[in-house]
Amino acid sequence: MSTHTAASTITPMSGGVLSTISGTFEAVVKYRQYRKTITELSSLSTRELSDIGLSLSAIKLVARETIYGTVNT
């Protein structure tokens, strides 16, 4: 009688699937951080944004750069 372990059912293809799931999860986490950053900055008044050197039109760009790194525009 043969015995199977969980490790014997993992194939090289499984690694690709796990990698894809991991990458998707990371993308979702980053997107949620991006949206939270936009929400928090949008809640500030124009005066408060000015005090930290931002304008309303820069909120999305700053959020993108903060979460995803430097963005080529």
55-68: pLDDT as tens digits: 999 999 999 999 99
In terms of phi and psi (left: phi > 0; alpha: psi -120 to 50; beta: otherwise), the region of 5 is beta
For 39-50, write each residue's pLDDT tens digit: 999 999 999 999
**pLDDT number for residue 5:** 55
- Two tokens, residue 46: 């124009």
Q: Would you list the domain boundaries of the chain?
A: 14-68
The predicted pLDDT at position 6 comes to 53
Contact yes or no for 71/65 (Cβ under 8 A)? yes
Is residue 8's pLDDT more than 60?
no
CA atoms within 13 A on the CB side of 37: 17
Helix (H), strand (E) at residue 42:
helix 12-42
Longest CA span, the chain: 75
pTM above 0.75, yes or no: no
